């Protein structure tokens, strides 16, 4: 009789361990963030390939690090710095239908894909996941991709839901810029 009780208790323990394992291992969003960066890097590398950007003009970031255009090669890869900006294929692929109106980055990287919209959507997602995992504690800035000002404004809402809403709205604005709306 005791053996059956032990088996039943063991089954419940194993079930609980499997059910709660994602929460126990999710003490931060590192794996999610690494996955998001890998996705952005993949899209960016496709854009670089289509735009025929030489491999000497960019640096691959690796795990958890964004791919970037080398600062000394920015003007060779994207243009828009002169009085009469001349756009390149890279500009159209990364910033959209009107790159100069969308706003070219001074340090382009995979975080600029779709005019930065995907990064904003990732931040919105991260804020929501953090809220679910941590009973609505405010997400730390280190788990977000945006600029310090942008993150400060979003976190200034005081809640992850408010931050997610700010990031989502910013992502829609960036996407509208990409499509020239």
Q: Per-residue pLDDT tens for 87-138?
A: 889 999 999 999 988 888 889 999 999 999 999 999 999 999 999 888 768 9
Average pLDDT of span 6-27: 46
Q: What is the pLDDT of residues 36-47, one digit of tens each?
A: 999 999 999 999
* pLDDT at residue 133 in the model: 87
In 10 A of CB 74, how many CB atoms?
Answer: 19
Mean pLDDT (the chain) is: 85
Average pLDDT of span 144-169: 93
| pTM of the predicted model as reported, rounded to 2 decimal places | 0.80
* Residue 83 pLDDT class (50, 70, 90 cuts): low
* pLDDT at residue 169 in the model: 96
Of 10, 63, 28, 5, the closest CA to residue 133 belongs to: 28
Cβ atoms of 136 and 110 closer than 8 Å: no
Domain spans of the chain, in order of start: 28-181
Average pLDDT of span 49-75: 93
Phi and psi angles of residue 11, each rounded to the nearest 5 degrees, phi first: -65, -45
Average pLDDT of span 156-180: 95
């Amino acid at each position: 009789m005791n053996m059956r009780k032990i088996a039943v208790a063991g089954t419940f323990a194993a079930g609980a361990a499997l059910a709660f394992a994602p929460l126990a291992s999710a003490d931060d969003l590192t794996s999610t963030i690494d996955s998001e960066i890998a996705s952005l890097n993949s899209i960016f590398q496709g854009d670089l390939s289509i735009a025929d950007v030489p491999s000497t003009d960019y640096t691959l970031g690796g795990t958890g690090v964004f791919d970037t255009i080398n600062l000394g090669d920015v003007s060779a890869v994207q243009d828009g710095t002169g009085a009469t900006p001349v756009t390149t294929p890279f500009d159209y692929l990364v910033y959209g239908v009107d790159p100069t109106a969308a706003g070219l980055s001074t340090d382009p990287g995979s975080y600029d894909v779709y005019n930065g919209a995907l990064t904003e959507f990732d931040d919105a997602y991260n804020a929501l996941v953090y809220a679910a995992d941590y009973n609505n504690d405010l997400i730390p800035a280190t788990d977000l991709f945006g600029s310090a000002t942008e993150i400060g404004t979003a976190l200034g809402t005081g809640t992850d839901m408010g931050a997610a809403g700010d990031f989502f709205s910013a992502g829609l604005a960036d996407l509208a810029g990409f499509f020239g709306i």
